[in-house]
Structure 1
Amino acid sequence: MQMMTLDKLKNELMQDPDFKKEYDALEEEFKLIEVLVDMRQKAGLTQEEIAQKIGTKKSNISRLESGTGNPGWKTLQKYAHACGFKIQLQYS
């Protein structure tokens, strides 16, 4: 039995119009998560180290990076600053 890769599964699921609609609705959230993880990795920090820097628990950072948290603007600023970055809000 051959294992399916995550990319192959995603491509297959994207053929379903209902799945694609729901997935596309989450695109901005996925982008935010990607940016957060990218900042942390560029800073060379672990989730635990970020948590210590901003005075929270690793589990809160994990939720933030997995998209299951609902962070406020101040939390996002603290996270970015702990990584050595600033965040800006833009609209289109």
Structure 2
Amino acid sequence: MSLNALKHEAFKNEAVRAEYDNLADEFELIDQLTSMRSKAGLTQEQLAKRIGTAKSNISRLERGRGNPSWETLKKYAHACGFRVKLEAVEDTGKIA
């Protein structure tokens, strides 16, 4: 079964879909991190050396297993030739 087919099947369950939607921002951040590194042509190890950390920290960050500081995100982006920018978007569909 392909990943798309698996997602389609899983999303038939409203609880799964709701949880996925709740994590959408985290998934987007992870995708942006790995995309930056890929566009820079860097391995996790090369990136880690550039910012002075361990490869395991880069891996953890790219798996969404951490709570990176703003400084860490800036270093990561800069090492890949990017910069980070915070954007506030009005949340029109969610109830707090």
Q: Same fold (TM over 0.5)?
A: yes
CA deviations on 1:16-53 (whole Å, 9 max, x unpaired) are 00000000000000000111011001000000001000
Aligned residues: 89
Moved over 4 A (4+): none
- What's the offset of the Cα at 1:74? 0.4
Tell me the equivalent position of 2:88. 91
The answer to whether residue 18 in structure 2 is matched with residue 18 in structure 1 is no
Q: Given the two structures, how large is their TM-score scaled by the length of structure 1?
A: 0.94
Percent sequence identity over matched residues? 57
Structure 1 residues 1-92: aligned runs within 5 Å: 4-92=1-89
Task: Provide the rounded CA distance (Å) in 2 between the counterparts of 1:53 and 1:21.
Answer: 38
Across the aligned residues of Structure 1 and Structure 2, the Cα RMSD in angstroms comes to 0.6
AA matched with 1:77: K
Task: Provide the rounded CA distance (Å) in 1 between the counterparts of 2:44 and 2:75.
Answer: 13
